[in-house]
Amino acid sequence: DDDGRGGYRGVGVGEMVGGFVVAHTPRIRDPEGAGGVFAPIVQGMRAAAVEIARLKPDVLLIASCHWVTTFHPYVNAARRHRGTLTSHEAPDLIHGWQYDYPGDPALAGEVAAAGKARGVPVVAFEEPTFVLEYGTVIPLRYLTPRADVAVVPLSVCWASDLKECMTWGEAVREAVVKSDRRAVFVASGAFSHKLVRGPETWPAPDLQKLDHELADLLTTGRHAEARATLPQYVERADPEMGGRHIAMLIGATGGGYRGRLLGYGPSSGS
């Protein structure tokens, strides 16, 4: 169902026009002050922003490994995502950060309904006091710098195994193509994620090799192979949140696409 432009058309006029795995290490909140070791990540995030501007999406669906929920995958259906973030994890780096993004409650509801129809226990909610975490807000700083693209945040659920995460991603895609939205799916989280102290520390060479092998499968369109080998990759590389965000991305993008590795860099052994 590839339309030849990297988009995916269904019975509606909606399209899943792109998919990204992006970084959210706190030090890239300030791209100018991040330091040289983070330059590849900053450059990659800026390159992703250029691609998103080219794709002209109506909405970004962003699944963050730092919005961890226990039993239910959640969809934030707020009309407006507005608040002030001080991170519990790194309040010295992220404090008093005011953000304001439009939401898309209609699509959020359709996405949740599609998940439930596939047996995934999705819960949609709209709560004005809910505060976004930095795994969502840091990527959005890059990906929608004018805060003029609607955002639908998705949690990453601990009780969901990789199969359910892929099914959930497929449901997201199904809802998009039945809508009238041009959408981009964003998986916010690391590949290998064996953390150590020292923000400048790279992953071990064998872990970097595993990361690049998976990235190669994803960017060269070997979707079925990426899907089949993800459990083995997760067992060996220990990606963030057990690779659930990557599984969601695989489900949400479907097959018939090509991609590019825009950046790869370290953060505390991750």
The model's pLDDT over 229-238, given as tens digits with 9 standing for 90+, comes to 999 999 999 9
**The pLDDT of residue 117:** 98
**Mean pLDDT (whole number) for 18-25:** 96
| pLDDT above 90: percentage of residues in the chain | 91
**The pLDDT of residue 35:** 82
Positive or negative, the Cα torsion across 234, 240, 246, 247?
Answer: positive
Positive or negative, the Cα torsion across 238, 261, 54, 148?
Answer: positive
**The pLDDT of residue 8:** 40
| 6/151: higher pLDDT | 151
Q: Cα–Cα distances in Å, from 212 out to 24, 33, 202, 232, 233?
A: 19, 27, 14, 14, 11
CB distance 76 to 63 below 8 Å: no
pLDDT band at 34 (very low <50, low <70, confident <90, very high): confident
Alpha helices in 65-154 (DSSP H): 105-117, 134-143
**Mean pLDDT (whole number) for 239-263:** 95
Q: Alpha-carbon distance 14 to 11, whole Å?
A: 8
**The pLDDT of residue 9:** 42
CB distance 31 to 198 below 8 Å: no
Q: Alpha-carbon distance 232 to 228, whole Å?
A: 8
**The pLDDT of residue 4:** 36
**The pLDDT of residue 12:** 67
The helix/strand/coil state of 125 is strand
**The pLDDT of residue 10:** 44
Q: Closest by alpha carbon to 42, among 56, 54, 51, 30?
A: 30
Length of the chain: 270
Q: Alpha-carbon distance 112 to 160, whole Å?
A: 15
**What is residue 238's DSSP assignment?**
-
Question: What are the pLDDT digits (tens) for 74-91?
Answer: 999 999 999 999 999 999
**Mean pLDDT (whole number) for 131-146:** 97
**Mean pLDDT (whole number) for 243-266:** 95
What's the whole-model pTM score? 0.94
- Give 112's contacts (C-beta < 8 A, 6+ positions apart): 75, 77, 122, 123, 124
Q: Are strands 80-85 and 97-102 parallel, antiparallel or unpaired?
A: antiparallel
pLDDT band at 172 (very low <50, low <70, confident <90, very high): very high
Question: What are the pLDDT digits (tens) for 1-19?
Answer: 333 334 444 456 899 999 9
Mean pLDDT of the chain: 94
Burial class of 15 by CB neighbour count within 10 A (0 to 12, 13 to 18, 19+): buried
**Mean pLDDT (whole number) for 130-152:** 97
**What is residue 37's DSSP assignment?**
G
